[in-house]
Structure 1
Amino acid sequence: MLKHSIFLRIYAGLVILVVLVALFGYLLVQIINYQRAQEYRESLTDGMAYIISEGIARQPNEQQRMDWISDASNLLELPIYYVKADKVDLTRAEAKRLEERKAAVRWDAQTLVAYIIIGLKDDPDHLLYIKAENITERQMKALPVFVLDYLVYYPGQEREYLQRIQHYFSYPMQIVNVQSLPLDSEQIGRLRLDHSIILYRDSASVRGTTISIVSPIPSSTSDVLVMGPVPLFNWMPFQLAAGITLLSLFVLSLGVYGLLVPMQRKLRAVNYALNKMKTGDLSVRLPVDSTDEVGSLASSYNSMSDHIQRLIEAQRELMRAVSHELRTPVARIRFGMEMLADEEDYECRLQQVDMIDKDIEALNTLIDEIMTYAKLEQGAPSLDFERIILFEVLDQVLIETEALKTGKTLELQAPPLAVVVDAERRYLHRVVQNLVGNAVRYCDSRVLISGGLSEDGMAYVCVEDDGPGIPEEERSRVFEAFARLDDSRTRASGGYGLGLSIVSRIAYWFGGTVSIDESPELGGARFIMAWPAQQRFKSQKRKNAEPQKDAGSEA
């Protein structure tokens, strides 16, 4: 079933992609959070590493240093080892952190124990090695003691020196008045008893839960040291969640693109074949390499192309047959005309010869119309556009029509000689000739010919007459081959129903339109053919092989 439907394959591929992207996102979150947790641990210990290093450096001799370390170990309730530096194998990153007077933290995920390594300020040969298994409130309340022990050497300048060491701490530290803190009476009482307190704050913001440590300053009754707020580690902060989501969607979109590329490639091949078909080239065939919807589309296109080719060949055969069938009676009529030489009545013989000769000429004209129409109908003709003075074409048709002595009045509203347009002279002459001939055939007495350039850069020719006009609902039919609007328009009135079809075809290949409305001046029909006055190519072939079927631009 999957191989017969490209969409089911895409859906199945999407399910697999979603699972893979979810696994990728989970692993990525774990890796990023491991690194974030390590950076979080180091950021919490950097400040205290600096303070402890400063405290030890102030001790005048080694014994006092050992005593200070012992007191610190008892205060923190954590084992602190004074070890030689060459006994500890440091990585390059750890050594760099110690040089910057920061702490190096080693985390054992199995035992959940952190090992903190602290460098000493004036003793590069030794390191402090702290083993931290559980961090309780006791360790947290002991932290302000180390900070206050550092500040005791700077009486009256506590705030200034606190600001100096701030950059070693990842959380803020400040000395504030106890009255400015949102504390209850119990908490204030504990501060007066020289006890540190811990404040927990839950927030709906990105920071989440935070901890602040408030410790009294022995030398002041109103000021306290506030360390924090320190945000607790957030395993999925907004920035990380947004980043992982966007990255996952990007990976998913790449996967979807990979699923759609084969179908896109096949559809592009179908589009290419259709474009070639528009130009009249039906030789392109699509490979049918699957049984899904796209494969079915390719198979249908191939069948359609074969069918259209057969229709075109059948049409060509028909045109050749019609041409042959029409020329055969012409030959017979001419043969019969020669036979009339034996006719005894001279006047009758001449009259019959004249009638036969007219039929011959009419048949030849019909053949010429059919062949011209077929040439324009079957494909893109070769158009050799050139710069043409529009007046010359209109005036030539006027002179040729007047020479036929039709008895109708022809008027030319001549465009200026400066009006020059791009056109194929032979086909433009045919357009004007057919329109004028059609107007002469159905007018009462007057035909008006005009042409020029419109404001939108379109060239146009216009032929109007004072005849009965064409009903609006019938105007689209006059462009159909061999179409007649009523029985009165038979061969007796002249024409074969191909003249306007040829005009419509030429208008299409010129890239223009032909339209019909009522003449505002003469009251009859008005035909207007408009086309771009400047063509993109002097010699071109229109790319579309089949025009739109509408009243204004049917070809």
Structure 2
Amino acid sequence: MAVMTFAEKSIFFRIYAGLLLVCISVAFFAYLLVDTINQERAQSYRETVATGAFYLIAQGAAYQQNDAQKNYWLNDISSLFGSNFEIISMYDIEFKAREMRRIEEGKTVVRYDPSSNQSTFYHRLEGSDDLLTVKLAQVGERQVRAMTIFLLDDLSRYQGFQKKQARLNFLSEKFSYPIYLQSIQNLKLDPEQIARLKRDELVMFFQDGIRGQGSTISFVVASDVEDLVIVVGPVALFNWFPLKLLGSVVLICVLLIALGIYALILPLERRLQLLQIGVDRVAQGNLDTKVQVVGRDDIARLSMTFNAMTAHIKRLIESQRELTRAVSHELRTPVARIRFAVDMLADTDEADSRQLQKEYIDEDIESLNELIDEILTYAKLEEGSPKLDWEMVNLRELLEQIERETNALGKPIVLICQLPSAKTTAMADRRYLHRVVQNLVGNALRYANSTIKLTAGVQKGMAFISVEDDGQGIAEKDREKVFIPFARLDDSRTRASGGYGLGLSIVSRIAFWFNANLTVDESPNYHGARFIMQWPAKQVGVVVAADDITQGSVEKVIHQTGN
């Protein structure tokens, strides 16, 4: 299972394994191809070499006058070859179409049996429907010597050099290699070889080709003409691996490997092309573009990141538009109040009235500063991944700090802090975590009747912050709206309590960058609103990826529980 998962995710492993499989398959195919071609070549070589020899033997049978002479003749050639020659009817053997054509053309048919390593030869006797047949396990010096005997016997029926040479030229076509008369002085023979020729023995010459290619063998036997010998050959030895065959097979293998590599790369190339098309569409301004995600490898993750990036850009643009409209609306109120106060300053000469208007102006300017700070904070969290200074934050110390800061405001609201143990810590950015708790408590202060409860801790590897109050709570249908920038559920109540509708939006964005779950529901003890933020007590990395998976998880929880 782990190997399959790794194979799905690793492009290198898939390509490497695929390439290895292609090479093994091509190597196996090359072996079968070479073996098949060599079997055909070997069969053709056997039949080509055997045709001339069996033609001579069949000519000897044609000279026999009756069956008794043929039987005597068969015994002689069987003794010479060391194998039993027979004459049978050609209709006793079932030949293939190719074999029948060779029989009719006067050529030899050879059937090789790899299990017994024997070859069966069939040659039609001229002018009859009989076949000369024999089984041979191998062709050695004895068989070559027998062939030369038949050659000398056939040549003895032709008198004179010209006739003998003409006969040899005719036989060369049957044998498919040259046979000719040559002066013994023209051959580079040593004294021992000359002596063997004089004793009517066979002399063989072996010529090795370049690097085993084109090796040949020649036979020399004495003739009945003085100072002339019969030279048979050179006969090309069968080469199992000729350069042409190897070159052709290598070329085919390279082509097959190239096709295999192309088949491996083509799906990746198509997926990259789809990704490029998506990039081009986004560059043209189409932010609704989605790239199909196939598999679980790096390209799939890149496609997911691209989709998340386009969705994030689209959301940022829409958020900026909404923020711009909301900011313009929120700025009008304090600006209008400042303008009214300035007009009042111009219309009154009383010192107390002028001082009062100045204080109103100062309050409105301070309100504008607070609004600008909130907008900048929200925009910073919204525009991209902020720089988070991760550290182990002591939750007890954080709650004690929030308690002191809240009590210093002098609000007639009781803050109950359920403090965790002194050793309870969670990984977070302290500054942003402080902002989360501060905003949640500040929001509760505006709507609570008398009591707020603040709780923090770590359970099953998840840290949490809980803030609940005894206010009116938030209707379930309105819970989606509290995290929207500048959203107000009740305009009159919001003006009375203060705020701009950015505090919970900032909490939502910090929760996103903390990879946290942010929920809002009804407090079971105080029946007001309860906000809970949960995040991993130990973050996997120092940066939380801005992708659609984490964003979707936060938005899904908010949507299900209500804001």
Identify the TM-score tier after normalising by the shorter chain: 0.5 to 0.7
Q: Of 258, 261, 269, which aligns to 1:256?
A: 261
Partner of 1:204: 210
**Alignment of 1:140 onto 2:137:** no
- Residue 290 (structure 1) aligned to one of 283, 292, 295: 295
Once the two structures are superposed, the pairs formed by residues 454-473 of structure 1 within 5 Å of their partners are none
Q: Percent identity?
A: 37
Deviation readout 1:183-214 (Å, 9 max, x if unpaired): 22211221122222111222225634322111
- Partner residue of 2:10 out of 5, 10, 28: 5
Deviation at 1:121, TM superposition (A): 0.3
Query: Who is 1:177 aligned against?
Result: 183
Partner secondary structure for residue 148 of structure 2: helix
Name the residue aligned to 2:89: 84
TM-score by length of 2: 0.53
Matched residue type, 2:63: R
Distance 2:326 2:181 in 1: 110
Q: Alpha-carbon deviation of 1:62?
A: 3.8
Structure-2 residue corresponding to 1:129: 133
Give, in angstroms, the shift of residue 250 of structure 1: 2.3
Q: CA deviation at 1:294?
A: 0.5
- Matching of residue 280 in structure 1 with residue 285 in structure 2: yes
Q: Which residue, 197, 200, 209 being the options, matches 1:191?
A: 197
Give the superposition deviation at 1:316. Answer: 6.2
Is 1:218 matched with 2:237? Answer: no
Instruction: Tell me the residue number matched to 1:524.
Output: none
Tell which deviates more after alignment, 188-197 or 24-33.
Answer: 24-33
Partner of 2:474: none
Q: Is the 8 A contact 1:81 1:128 kept in 2?
A: yes
Q: 1:365-421: per-residue Cα shift (whole Å, max 9, x none)?
A: xxxxxxxxxxxxxxxxxxxxxxxxxxxxxxxxxxxxxxxxxxxxxxxxxxxxxxxxx
CA contact (8 A) 2:293 2:303 kept: yes
Aligned to 2:117: 112
Question: Counterpart in 1 of 2:45?
Answer: 40
Partner of 1:150: 154
Aligned pairs for 1:211-250 (under 5 A) are 211-221=217-227, 223-250=228-255
Question: Which 5+ residue runs of structure 2 have no aligned equivalent?
Answer: 1-5, 331-563
Q: Distance in 1 between matches of 2:293 and 2:184?
A: 84
CA contact (8 A) 1:212 1:227 kept: yes
The aligned runs of 1:477-496 (5 Å cut-off) are none
Indicate if the aligned counterparts of 1:49 and 1:101 stay in contact, CA closer than 8 A.
Answer: no
Q: Deviations over 1:421-444 (max 9, x none)?
A: xxxxxxxxxxxxxxxxxxxxxxxx
CA shift, 1:275, in A, is: 2.0
- Which amino acid in the other structure matches residue 113 of structure 2? D
Deviation, 1:18, is: 2.0
Residue aligning to 1:458: none
Q: 1:180 to 1:320 in 2, by over 3 A?
A: farther
Deviation, structure 1 residue 30: 2.3
1:233 is displaced (CA, Å) by 2.3
How many Å apart are 1:101 and its aligned residue?
A: 0.8
Partner of residue 18, structure 1: 23
Cα distance between partner residues in 1 of 2:143 and 2:277:
75
Deviates further, 54-63 or 89-98: 54-63
Q: Deviation of residue 218 (structure 1)?
A: 1.2
- Give the Cα–Cα distance (whole angstroms) in 1 for the partners of residues 83 and 122 of structure 2: 13
Contact 1:141/1:197 (<8 A) preserved = no
TM alignment of 1:493-532, pairs within 5 A = none
Contact 1:49–1:103 (CA under 8 A) maintained in structure 2: yes
Contact 1:141 1:198 in 2 (8 A): no
CA distance, structure 2, for counterparts of residue 37 and residue 195 of structure 1: 29
1:143 to 1:309, Cα distance in 2 relative to 1, 3 A: same
TM superposition shift of 1:324: 11
Write the mapping of 1:418-457 to structure 2, written as runs, cut at 5 A.
none
Give, as a single letter, the amino acid of the residue that structure 2 aligns with 1:200.
F
Q: Distance in 2 between matches of 1:49 and 1:134?
A: 15
Name the CA distance, whole Å, in 2 between partners of 1:147 and 1:113. Answer: 25
Whichever residue aligns with residue 181 of structure 1, its letter is: L
**Partner residue, 1:355:** none
2:145 match: secondary structure: helix
Structure-2 change in CA distance of 1:163 and 1:322 (3 Å): farther
- Cα pair 2:102 2:108 within 8 Å, conserved: yes
Distance 1:288 1:87 in 2: 70
Match of 1:27 in 2: 32
| 1:217 to partner: Cα distance | 1.0
Match of 1:304 in 2: 309
- SS in structure 2 at match of 1:165: helix
Structure 1 pair 314–145 and aligned structure 2 pair: CA distance change class (3 A):
same
Whole-angstrom CA distance in 2 between matches of 1:134 and 1:15: 41
Q: Is the 8 A contact 1:207 1:231 kept in 2?
A: no
Rounded to whole Å, the distance in 1 between the matches of 2:158 and 2:322 is 113
Separation in 1 of the partners of 2:319 and 2:115? 85
Q: 1:160 to 1:321 in 2, by over 3 A?
A: farther
Q: Secondary structure at the match of 2:166?
A: helix
Give the partner amino acid of 2:149: V
User: What letter matches 2:268 in structure 1?
Assistant: M
TM (norm. structure 1) is 0.54
Q: Distance in 2 between matches of 1:224 and 1:314?
A: 107
Note the alpha carbon deviations across 1:123-176, whole angstroms, 9 max, x for none: 22x211112123221211222222232222332322222222322223222222
The SS at the match of 1:300 is: helix
Say which SS state the counterpart of residue 86 (structure 2) adopts: strand
Match of 2:404 in 1: none
The 10-residue stretch of structure 1 (242-251 or 41-50) with the greater mean CA deviation from structure 2: 242-251
For the 8 Å contact 1:51–1:150, the answer to whether it is kept is yes
Gapped runs of 5+ residues in structure 1?
326-555
Give yes or no for contact 1:215–1:225 (8 Å, CA) kept in 2: yes
> Residue in 1 aligned with 2:381?
none
Say which SS state the counterpart of residue 7 (structure 1) adopts. helix
How far apart, CA to CA, are the structure 2 residues paired with 1:71 and 1:149?
13
The answer to whether residue 276 in structure 2 is matched with residue 271 in structure 1 is yes
Confirm or deny that 1:100 pairs with 2:105: yes
CA contact (8 A) 1:141 1:213 kept: no
Q: Deviations over 1:59-87 (max 9, x none)?
A: 34443333333332222222111223333
For the 8 Å contact 2:87–2:131, the answer to whether it is kept is yes
Q: Which residue is equivalent to 1:53?
A: 58
CA distance in 2: counterparts of 1:59 and 1:231, whole angstroms: 33
Partner of 1:161: 167
SS of 2:240's equivalent in the other structure is: coil
Q: 1:247 Cα deviation (Å)?
A: 2.0
Aligned length: 331
Give me the whole-angstrom Cα distance separating, in 1, the residues matched to 2:184 and 2:123. Answer: 33
The alpha-carbon distance between structure 1 residues 127 and 305, as it changes in their structure 2 partners (threshold 3 A), is same
Contact 2:60 2:154 in 1 (8 A): yes
